[in-house]
Amino acid sequence: MAFQVSNIMLFILMFLLPLSATAQPYRNVTLGSALIANNANSTWLSPSGEFAFGFQQIIPGGYLLAIWFNKIPETTIVWSANRDNLVQEGSRVQLFADGRFELSDPRGQRIWAATLSRVGVTYGAMLDTGNFVLANRNSVVLWQSFDEPTDTLLPTQTLNRGVKLVSSFSKTNYSKGRFIFILQNDGNLVSYTRNFPMDNVIFAYWSTQTVGTGFQVIFNQSGYIFLVAQNGSLLNYVSPNAASSSQFYQRAILEYDGVLRHYVYPKSANSSGGIAMAWSSMDFIPSNICMSIRQSSGGGACGFNSFCSIGIDQMPNCDCPVGYSVVDPNDRMSGCKPNFAAQNCDKEARETDHFSFNDMPNTDWPDSDYTYFQQVREDWCRQVCLDDCFCAVAIFRDGNCWKKKYPLSNGRVDSGVGGKALIKIRNTNVTANFSVSKKSNRSTLIIIGSVLLGSSTFLNLLLLSSLLLYAFYFNKLKPNRHQPYQVLPGLNIRRFGFKELQEATNGFKEELGRGSCSTVYKGIVKNDNIEKVVAVKKLHKMATEGEQEFKAEVSSISRTNHKNLVQLLGYCDEGQNQLLVYEFMSNGSLSNFLFQSSRPNWYKRLQIAFATARGLCYLHEECNNQIIHCDIKPQNILLDESFTAKISDFGIAKLLKPDQSRTTTGIRGTKGYVAPEWFRNLPVTSKVDVYSFGILFLELICCRRNYEPDVEVETEMILADFAYDCYKEGTMHLLVANDEEALNDKQFDKFVMIAIWCIQEDPALRPTMKRVMQLMEGSVEVPIPPDPASFITSI
Ligand SMILES: *[C@@H]1O[C@H](CO)[C@@H](O)[C@H](O)[C@H]1NC(C)=O
Ligand SMILES: *[C@@H]1O[C@H](CO)[C@@H](O)[C@H](O)[C@H]1NC(C)=O
Ligand SMILES: *[C@@H]1O[C@H](CO)[C@@H](O)[C@H](O)[C@H]1NC(C)=O
Ligand SMILES: *[C@@H]1O[C@H](CO)[C@@H](O)[C@H](O)[C@H]1NC(C)=O
Ligand SMILES: *[C@@H]1O[C@H](CO)[C@@H](O)[C@H](O)[C@H]1NC(C)=O
Ligand SMILES: *[C@@H]1O[C@H](CO)[C@@H](O)[C@H](O)[C@H]1NC(C)=O
Ligand SMILES: *[C@@H]1O[C@H](CO)[C@@H](O)[C@H](O)[C@H]1NC(C)=O
Ligand SMILES: *[C@@H]1O[C@H](CO)[C@@H](O)[C@H](O)[C@H]1NC(C)=O
Ligand SMILES: *[C@@H]1O[C@H](CO)[C@@H](O)[C@H](O)[C@H]1NC(C)=O
Ligand SMILES: CC(=O)N[C@H]1CO[C@H](CO)[C@@H](O)[C@@H]1O
């Protein structure tokens, strides 16, 4: 059948050729023809020029003999001969006079050869289907690339029994990777994890269950991909969504992440209107690879200690837990390694105080557990993991507690998982390089202290603080500017000289932002010859309490460690110059992101709300000293290069003079982010942040500012009032007009209700951030919120 199709194509091709002969460089590949791998163009084109056969340079000096889409800017390879064995410049592919078709390296060593069904090849041709054929004088095809697919199927191509697709190793490395898609000889069509680097398979994560009946996978001209039985009857669709082949380029590819995707690309790729063309996915299988792969051997979809989550673009992401980093930065699926030294197992030095947990809801590493407890409480589960040096992660779900050990495998984050992962990380970097000998002595001291004072955490903390204080004085007596890596002992934070920061910021040249109390500049600092981009915050209005206060606050900030907080890297404190050095957040502030002309995606907005809530929850509940932010607003939520939201400027409220503008907010009646108790004679507690978060959450939900003087309807000006009115009248859809994603989200109502709870004027009615997290994550039912303004103060 495949032969027939090809013959028809050849026939059509020959028929059409005279018409386009003058316009196209196309001609048959005659016996004796060869292509040489070098930097110049050397390709054989199809009649339309849409496909090319030839050499693609993959790495400097490394060539792949391949077929690719030739009319689109993005290199899209659909077939290759030597994916595991790139050839050097000067290698050649030749159609010999006797009909052999071979790839050989510059020394003449054969690297690859077409396996012909019989002798008698008289010519070769790159067809407009993307199929390269070798045929005899009667145009009977004796070899074709369609019969030996690599990772891609094209329209008119079929996948026969016993033939498989093997994914690439990565986006840019075409060698054989970690997944296989095969129509087995038994008729079943299956996706497997591959036992890399071997060719055998480990785990089937998708199949049609057509043992005995599946005969052929067809990608037909209309763009449907389906499995048929021998009698031609349809058994299963692989991609039931078709796109016209006359208007779209199409391909189905088993990608490096294990997902088989059907992609289309508009042929009329005209860049008018500045819209960049790209491949877009019509269909893919399996629907959720993160949840589909659960293998007893191997790391799962993402590698060991890593976790897999489906992004808003439906692509699986592989990420490392906080405190871990990817083993090979060029390979997201290489797994993650902890950035901290393992816990000491000695009974006397178990370092329980040095570890804490980072909570990740809806996260699990199934199958990595070595101990399991039932009917326990969460704090018990935490403690039992903390006390056990073998425990890397504890999973707590519905009163069950699993202790997990390295390497963790099959990690996934999904709303279907439930419960939470408690990821154990070392608090401060005691093993940091900076002051190795000092550090080891200090930890010895602490251990001795712990033993002497019993196991009271409080006393240990006291001891630690006095040591820190001692260290501050010590540093002060020795303002050693020539020692660039001076740090607060025990904390992974560096003390900078003012001059150094002046140089780092090129004389405070590039301003990133400015507030009433500080200005932020971009800078580059060097550490061990590694350049790092940083944000340097210069404080204008310093607290009058003096240096000790500054240092105490800096040390309190620096002891925070959470993925949703902007990390403090260092500080400078020289006379009038007080500066803080933070990690640089390349994607700017939420304010820019949220209020741009095009509305960001609903799920991205939700992610930011979750991230902000998590960061606040940590500041309120999990720090040694509770930190109240006091200034939560979109300008203070920053986005890193992967758009993870992080809270900035926390802990500096105490460093700055009270902001006078608080008491005289602009337009009367405008509700800003500032909780009402600031204006009333009420104590300021962490609930002020809950209020600000509520306003921010509404802005994220509705994608508008809390105050919009320009809206037509007056009742819509103040978002907080508008939101409650809509809630009360059951017209919440008005809040997100035209935002289909939000409207289709079953949780939409719930999120609005949570935000309304947060903006209650009575601080006592507002939930804590922890409670807010629980409500958002869905572990607790959201009660009916009262009218936020029902609180009457008795002033
Ligand atoms: C290609 O070769 C076949 C068989 O020899 C011949 O029929 C056909 O005309 C050739 N096409 C071109 C464009 O030379
Ligand atoms: C290669 O081909 C492209 C387009 O087909 C052309 O623009 C370019 O000049 C060619 N380069 C060489 C070295 O021939
Ligand atoms: C591609 O990945 C494989 C497997 O890790 C590796 O052996 C090979 O060197 C890589 N090739 C390139 C060109 O990076
Ligand atoms: C492709 O397959 C679909 C679904 O089976 C069918 O409706 C359509 O007619 C087929 N197109 C061609 C050109 O065979
Ligand atoms: C075709 O084969 C399938 C599976 O073997 C069978 O279920 C179906 O009845 C057959 N249809 C016809 C028309 O023979
Ligand atoms: C570009 O695309 C638009 C919309 O598809 C179409 O109307 C227009 O004719 C195209 N222009 C060119 C030059 O192909
Ligand atoms: C701990 O220090 C090491 C080396 O100094 C560093 O690579 C690592 O990122 C630090 N870990 C944390 C959690 O700060
Ligand atoms: C830590 O110290 C070791 C040896 O003392 C050195 O090789 C390594 O580069 C240092 N790492 C950092 C992050 O300073
Ligand atoms: C976000 O940051 C990344 C990395 O710096 C950058 O490539 C990307 O263009 C940024 N996106 C936006 C919208 O600024
Ligand atoms: C100052 C001091 O006591 N330094 C000691 C710290 O500990 C190391 C070994 O752990 C000793 O070699 C140092 O003399």
Predicted pLDDT of residue 474? 36
Tell the residue nearest (CA) to atom 9 of ligand 9: 587
Nearest alpha carbon to residue 625 among 546, 703, 718, 559: 559
The residues that bridge with 568 in the sheet, in sequence order, are: 582
Residues 642 and 682 in one domain: yes
Mean predicted confidence (pLDDT) in 540-568: 74
Is residue 23 scored above 60 in pLDDT? no
The per-residue pLDDT for range 679-735, each reduced to its tens digit, is: 666 677 889 899 999 999 999 999 998 888 888 888 888 899 899 999 999 898 999
Q: Is the pLDDT of residue 160 over 60?
A: yes
Between 59-68, 452-461, 533-542, 545-554, the lowest mean confidence (pLDDT) is in 452-461
Tell me the C-alpha distance between 125 and 148, whole Å.
16
Q: Do both 618 and 691 map to the same domain? A: yes
pLDDT, tens digit (0-9, with 9 covering 90-100), for 564-586: 999 888 888 887 888 999 999 99
Based on the fold, state whether residues 685 and 786 are members of the same structural domain: yes
The string over 504-535, giving b where at least 16 C-beta atoms fall within 10 Å of a residue's C-beta and e elsewhere, is bbeebeeebbebebbebbbbebeeeeeeeebb
- Find the CATH number of the domain harbouring 562: 3.30.200.20
Average confidence (pLDDT) over 149-161:
97
Ligand 4 midpoint to CA 236 (Å): 13
CA of 322 to the centre of ligand 7 (A): 12
Task: Supply the DSSP string of 122-147, one letter for each residue.
Answer: -EEEE-TTS-EEEE-TT--EEEEGGG
Domain match, 343 and 389 both: yes
Contact call for residues 707 and 721 (beta carbons, < 8 A): no
SS3 (DSSP) at 418: coil
How far does the centroid of ligand 7 lie from the alpha carbon of residue 768, in Å?
Answer: 32
Task: Say if ligand 1 is within 6 A of residue 27 CB.
Answer: yes
Residue 570 CA to ligand 7 centre (angstroms): 14
Same domain, 251 and 205: yes
474-481: average pLDDT: 35
Is residue 574 helix, strand or coil? strand
Q: List the single range of 18-27, 316-325, 725-734, 764-773 with lowest mean pLDDT.
A: 18-27
Ligand 9 atom closest to 593 (CA): 13
Boundary-marking domain end, from 390, 409, 426:
426
Statement: residue 182 has pLDDT above 70: yes
Centroid of ligand 4 to alpha carbon of 222 (angstroms): 6
Co-location of 646 and 782 in the same domain: yes
Q: What are phi and psi of 586, to 5 degrees?
A: -75, -20
- Closest-lying ligand 7 atom to the alpha carbon of residue 325: 9
- Quick check: CB of 712 below 6 Å from ligand 8? no
Give the ligand at the shortest distance from the Cα of 27: 1
pLDDT for the residue 312: 66
Q: Is the CB of 433 under 6 A from ligand 8?
A: yes
pLDDT classification of 598: cutoffs 50, 70, 90: confident
> Of 522, 533, 587, 646, which is best to mutate to test ligand 9, by the most ligand atoms within 8 angstroms of its C-beta?
587
State the pLDDT at residue 556.
Answer: 76
Q: How far apart are CA 666 and CA 664, in angstroms?
A: 6
Which residues, 6 or more positions from 354, have their beta carbon under 8 angstroms from its beta carbon? 343, 426, 427, 428, 430
Is residue 353 classed as helix, strand or coil in its secondary structure? helix
Beta bridge partners of 538: 519, 579
Nearest C-alpha neighbor of 614 from the set 640, 569, 647, 636? 647
- First-to-last alpha carbon distance for the chain, in angstroms, is 89
Q: Is residue 442 part of a domain?
A: no
* 22 has pLDDT over 50: no
Assess whether the C-beta atom of 268 lies below 6 angstroms from ligand 6: yes
Whose Cα sits closest to atom 5 in ligand 7? 432
Atom of ligand 10 minimally distant from the CA of 440? 10
- For range 442-467, the mean pLDDT: 34
Mean pLDDT of 770-784: 83
Q: What percent of the chain has pLDDT over 70?
A: 81
Which is the closest atom of ligand 1 to the Cα of 21? 13
Which tens digits make up the pLDDT trace of 487-497? Answer: 333 356 788 88
Residue 536, C-beta contacts closer than 8 angstroms, at least 6 positions apart: 501, 504, 505, 508, 520, 521, 522, 523, 579, 580, 581, 582
Q: Where are the beta strands (DSSP E) in 211-267?
A: 214-219, 225-229, 234-239, 248-254, 260-266
**123-126: strand order across its sheet:** 29-30, 123-126, 132-135, 141-144
Q: Is 631 a catalytic residue?
A: yes
Residue 209 within a domain: yes
Ligand 2 centroid distance, CA of 41 (Å): 6
Q: Indicate which atom in ligand 4 lies nearest the CA of residue 226.
A: 5
Residue 566 inside a domain? The answer is yes
Q: Does the residue 36 lie in any domain?
A: yes
Sign of CA dihedral 126, 129, 130, 131: negative
Report yes or no on 341 lying in a domain.
Answer: yes
| 599 and 677 part of one domain | yes
Region 261-277: mean pLDDT is 65
Q: How far apart are CA 369 and CA 366, in angstroms?
A: 7
Is residue 296 situated within a structural domain?
A: no
* Mean of pLDDT values over 275-290: 81
d(CA 510, CA 65): 48
pLDDT in tens, 640-689: 988 889 999 887 766 554 443 333 332 223 357 888 777 666 677 889 89
Burial of 781 (0-12, 13-18, 19+ CB in 10 A): exposed
**What confidence score (pLDDT) does residue 554 get?**
79
Q: What are phi and psi of 461, to 5 degrees?
A: -65, -40
Q: What is the reported pLDDT for 20?
A: 33
In a domain, residue 658? The reply is: yes
Q: Which position has the higher pLDDT, 446 or 726?
A: 726
pLDDT of residue 659: 40
Q: Which residues, 6+ apart, have CB-to-CB distance to 40 below 8 Å?
A: none
Q: What is the secondary structure of 176-221 as a DSSP string?
A: EEEEEEEE-TTS-EEEEEE-TTSS-EEEEEEE---TTTEEEEEE-T
Q: For residue 621, name the pLDDT band (cuts at 50, 70, 90).
A: confident
Mean pLDDT of the chain, nearest integer:
81
pLDDT digits (tens, 9 = 90+) for 189-208: 999 999 998 988 989 999 99
Q: DSSP label at 618?
A: I
> Which pLDDT score is estimated for 394?
96
Quick one: which ligand is closest to 10's CA? 1
CA distance 462 to 470: 12
Task: Specify whether 520 is located in the same domain as 603.
Answer: no
Q: Which of 268, 271, 275 to mutate to test the pocket of ligand 6 (most atoms within 8 A of CB)?
A: 268
Last residue of a domain, one of 426, 448, 478: 426
Which helix (H) or strand (E) element contains residue 421? strand 420-426
The burial class, CB within 10 Å (0-12 / 13-18 / 19+), for 222 is exposed
Query: Residue 569 belongs to what domain range?
Result: 494-583
Q: Report the SS3 class of residue 308.
A: strand
The model carries a pTM of 0.56
Domain boundary at 387, 411, 426, which?
Answer: 426
Q: How many angstroms separate the Cα of 464 from the Cα of each of 139, 442, 446?
A: 84, 9, 7
Question: What is the Cα–Cα distance from 226 to 218, expressed in whole angstroms?
Answer: 5
Q: What is the pLDDT of residue 624?
A: 66
The larger pLDDT score, comparing residue 527 to residue 451, is at 527
Ligand 10 contact via 440 beta carbon (within 6 Å): yes
Q: CB of 618 closer than 6 A to ligand 4?
A: no
Kindly state whether residue 445 falls inside one of the protein's structural domains.
Answer: no
Q: Which CATH number characterizes residue 703's domain?
A: 1.10.510.10
Share of the chain above pLDDT 90, in %: 48
Nearest ligand by distance to the CA of 442: 10
- Same domain, residue pair 608 and 666: yes
Beta bridge partners, 216, equal: 160, 228
Is the pLDDT reported for residue 546 higher than 90?
Answer: no
Alpha carbon nearest to ligand 1 atom 5, residue: 137
In DSSP terms, 218 is beta-bridged to: 158, 226
Q: Is the pLDDT of residue 383 over 60?
A: yes
Distance 354 CA to ligand 7 centre (A): 14
Q: Give the closest residue (by CA) to ligand 10 atom 8.
A: 437
Residue to probe by mutation, ligand 3, list 169, 176, 195, most atoms within 8 Å of CB: 169
Measured in Å, residue 77 CA sits from the centre of ligand 8 at 42
Distance CA 157, CA 675 (A): 64
Q: How many CB atoms lie within 10 A of CB 785?
A: 20
Instruction: Summarize pLDDT for 95-109 with one digit per residue, the tens.
Output: 999 999 999 999 999
Residue 33 and residue 117 in one domain: yes
Give residue 719's Cα distance to chain centre. Answer: 31
Burial (Cβ within 10 Å: 0-12, 13-18, ≥19) of residue 754: buried
Ligand number nearest CA of 641 is: 9
7 lines ligand 1 (CB under 6 A): no
Q: From the CB of 436, is ligand 10 less than 6 Å away? A: no
- Per residue in 285-331, pLDDT tens? 998 999 999 988 888 999 999 999 987 677 899 999 988 999 998 89
Instruction: Indicate the number of domains in the chain.
Output: 5
| Catalytic residue from among 631, 649, 689, 739 | 631
Scan for tokens 């005691």, then name that residue.
Answer: 430
Answer yes or no: do 103 and 189 share one domain.
Answer: no
Q: Which ligand is nearest to the CA of 356?
A: 7
Maximum average pLDDT range among 192-196, 476-480, 683-687, 745-749: 192-196
CATH of the domain at 32: 2.90.10.10
Structure tokens at 256: 């490096």
**252 - beta bridge partners?**
153, 262
Q: Within this chain, do residues 729 and 604 fall inside the same structural domain, yes or no? A: yes
